[in-house]
Chain A
């Protein structure tokens, strides 16, 4: 260690005006680590991912089970993948709300003044949130199991379904991250997000067979990406196969990231 004059003058430093992909990944993982540490300090923010996966299968299962499938147990293979998609998507909306709150704090100014990949503070927050999706997904299946749901495809199919859902939710959370960077406050993020989430999750095949719906609604339900996610998870967990729904929702999710990740980073950079 040098004593005084320890600071290297500006003109003797090696400097570059871009970040490599390796650095972007590294920075994002460090930021994700930061967010995980923060989550550990505030366990109350896991309330939504623990209560909803317990409450919803029980509630919807016993309310609709008899009417739709004759009995609760027969309804569960239809319902649990639907609840899974719904719960994890609602959770991904929380990502946007929390990002907004985080960005209002002074520490984000510091992140913006550091020579790190611009995407890192956002990607880090979104990566850390996959832990929340995982908790929600595992709990949903666990509650389903307790209620008597025994997926035909076994554990492998269930795990594949969970991984697919987490992946899609991560991609879709970029939409909410974008809303988060654009909105004025975290409560307006929530309001805007629900306008999208409500029709997307309910106007799908999550709870009922599509054939029971009126024709015009069927048309929307069939193109709704959530329907494809639910179908893909049902196929994975109940049959153990990968169908065209799987590829359809994966493609859709990738397009969302390719569109919304750059938009979000740009909006984030512009925000004072």
Chain B
């Protein structure tokens, strides 16, 4: 009983998932543990195996190795049960172009067992919730990318599934629409759903996810809370652009004294130093002012996905196919 209870607390429990396409090991031993009621981010570049992993968990693909349970139900042997518990929003709009938004939602609703009346009601509720009421009767070919994505998400929520897969929900969206999507996702979790999302953006994972798995070449290269990962990955970098070249030596020394770390100079007028303790920045700026060193620009650079990958894997994110070539 106790073991059963513990197992049920995981929305997704995957062990050593493997999927091979030809000689490409798209997913190569992925473990995922997604607690119920959380937002879990799977972060990685294009071709890292994110979508393949989601497709296995959503019963669209059969894994070549390993096992996965959704709320304790095996994705292969109990696929039909798993499908009753999930909503899937794919990377490519999984709605019907030739039909209107309402028609799409009503058909999905009917397929999910709602009566004609209930399906129409649910559809209009969802369209209202997602701000698509005005466009409900228009053909989808007239929809913007953001509207399509919202409709797609609405379609995943018809049956109010306790687990929702979002495959790159904001890729290609403008910043405002992205922020709306983030709000929607937060709202979903507040109403009791568990969300597993994939993203290419560190920023997005950081904003939304309780825990993150960083995935590369089909393998999980790091896993933890956002805080844990950031501590691993390194800190933001403070960049100081000096007004004149001649002051660089002095400025460098002051920086070293105050931040206790040797700054680098990427170009003759710029100093860069890891910003472990943001409080010290004020001290540094005051010290520079006292020494009469003038600054042209002060900026802080957060680690990018590229740097995260460099740190975690020792190689940049591009060239994912370089290994296969001689």
Q: Are A110 and B108 in contact (CB under 8 A)?
A: yes
CB of A8 within 8 A of chain B? Answer: yes
Q: Are B90 and A106 in contact (CB under 8 A)?
A: yes
- CB neighbours of A41 from chain B (8 A): 98-99, 139
Closest CB in chain B relative to A48 CB, distance in Å: 18
Q: Are B111 and A17 in contact (CB under 8 A)?
A: no
CB of B282 within 8 A of chain A? Answer: no
CB of B222 within 8 A of chain A? Answer: no
CB of B60 within 8 A of chain A? Answer: yes
Q: Are B71 and A11 in contact (CB under 8 A)?
A: yes
CB of A21 within 8 A of chain B? Answer: no
- CB neighbours of B36 from chain A (8 A): 9-10
Q: Are A13 and B94 in contact (CB under 8 A)?
A: no
- CB neighbours of A37 from chain B (8 A): 98-99, 103
Identify which of B97, B98, B160 gathers the most chain A CB atoms within 10 Å of its CB.
B98
* Per-residue contact bits, chain B 89-114, to A (CB 8 Å; 1 contact, 0 not): 01011111111000100011011100
How many residues of A are counted as interface, with CB atoms below 8 angstroms from the partner's CB atoms?
Answer: 38
- CB neighbours of A10 from chain B (8 A): 8, 11, 36, 71, 85, 162-163
Q: Are A13 and B96 in contact (CB under 8 A)?
A: no
Contact (A8, B191) CB under 8 Å given A30-B110, A114-B111: no
B172-206 interface with A by 8 A CB criterion: 190-193
> B193 is contacted by which of A7, A16, A19 (Cβ under 8 Å)?
A7
Q: When A and B form their complex, what is the total count of cross-chain residue pairs whose Cβ atoms lie within 8 Å?
A: 109
CB of B127 within 8 A of chain A? Answer: no
Give bound CA distance, A27 to B163, whole Å: 23
Closest CB in chain A relative to B291 CB, distance in Å: 56
Q: Are B191 and A6 in contact (CB under 8 A)?
A: yes
CB of B209 within 8 A of chain A? Answer: no
Q: Are A115 and B103 in contact (CB under 8 A)?
A: no
* Per-residue contact bits, chain B 137-178, to A (CB 8 Å; 1 contact, 0 not): 001000000000000000100001111000000000000000
> B92 is contacted by which of A6, A34, A106, A111 (Cβ under 8 Å)?
A106
> B99 is contacted by which of A11, A17, A19, A34 (Cβ under 8 Å)?
A34
B63-99 interface with A by 8 A CB criterion: 71, 73, 78-81, 83-86, 88, 90, 92-99
Q: Are A112 and B80 in contact (CB under 8 A)?
A: no
- CB neighbours of B97 from chain A (8 A): 105
CB of B269 within 8 A of chain A? Answer: no
Q: Are B81 and A114 in contact (CB under 8 A)?
A: no
Closest CB in chain B relative to A241 CB, distance in Å: 43
Q: Which residue of B lies closest to A29 (CB)?
A: B110
Q: Which residue of A lies closest to B70 (CB)?
A: A10
Closest CB in chain B relative to A15 CB, distance in Å: 5
Q: Are B192 and A7 in contact (CB under 8 A)?
A: yes
Q: Which residue of A lies closest to B71 (CB)?
A: A10
B47-71 interface with A by 8 A CB criterion: 55, 58-62, 71
Q: Are B86 and A113 in contact (CB under 8 A)?
A: yes
> A19 is contacted by which of B80, B88, B94, B191 (Cβ under 8 Å)?
B80
Closest CB in chain B relative to A136 CB, distance in Å: 22
Give bound CA distance, A105 to B93, whole Å: 9
Identify which of A10, A15, A30, A38 gathers the most chain B CB atoms within 10 Å of its CB.
A10
- CB neighbours of B71 from chain A (8 A): 10-11
- CB neighbours of A120 from chain B (8 A): 111
Which of B's residues lie within 8 Å of A, judged by CB? 8, 11, 36, 55, 58-62, 71, 73, 78-81, 83-86, 88, 90, 92-99, 103, 107-108, 110-112, 139, 155, 160-163, 190-193
- Which 5 A-B pairs give the minimum distances between C-beta atoms? A10-B71, A7-B192, A110-B94, A106-B94, A115-B83
